[in-house]
Amino acid sequence: MSDLTHFDAKGDAHMVDVSDKDVTSRTATARGSVIMAADTLTLITEGRAKKGDVLAVARLAGIMAAKKTPDIIPLCHPLALSKVSVELTPNPAENSVEIEATVKVTGKTGVEMEALTAVSAAALTVYDMVKAVDKAMRLTEIRLVHKDGGRSGVYQAD
């Protein structure tokens, strides 16, 4: 593992200085899922949730969260994101909603945290919108699956 860049020589946390980094195109994709009871997934897919269209609201929550990442993750740089996409796919075989977020920027730092935040917020929103009927839902497997750009190049999860 490389040296952690969010700590100075004294061990104090700080925001990384990216002023000497090159501006490059950067992309990150994260995924996760919400596992639920079969009846809960049916409620979502049939559009019968009392709070409204779960998948549409969760998509918007994910997009909004990506844009607000530096407001909730203390050492993240504010970025002018060029793209945020959040897809929510019902998976009846697993009784889940699969979530994938892709974030793009042309800048001096990556967008991994923005993609992970988008997935997390979308998953939390799914939970919030149907928790009245299924408090046992599980938010799982939230992880970075791809990133490209910057000094470290390409990362692709197994």
Can you state the percent helix, strand and coil of the chain, rounding each to 5? 30, 30, 40
Burial (Cβ within 10 Å: 0-12, 13-18, ≥19) of residue 86? buried
**148 is annotated as an active-site residue:** no
The active-site residue, picked from 17, 128, 134, 148, is 128
**Widest CA span of the chain, in angstroms?**
56
156: CB partners within 8 A, 6+ apart: 145, 146
Give the DSSP H or E segment for 32: strand 24-35
Catalytic residues: 128
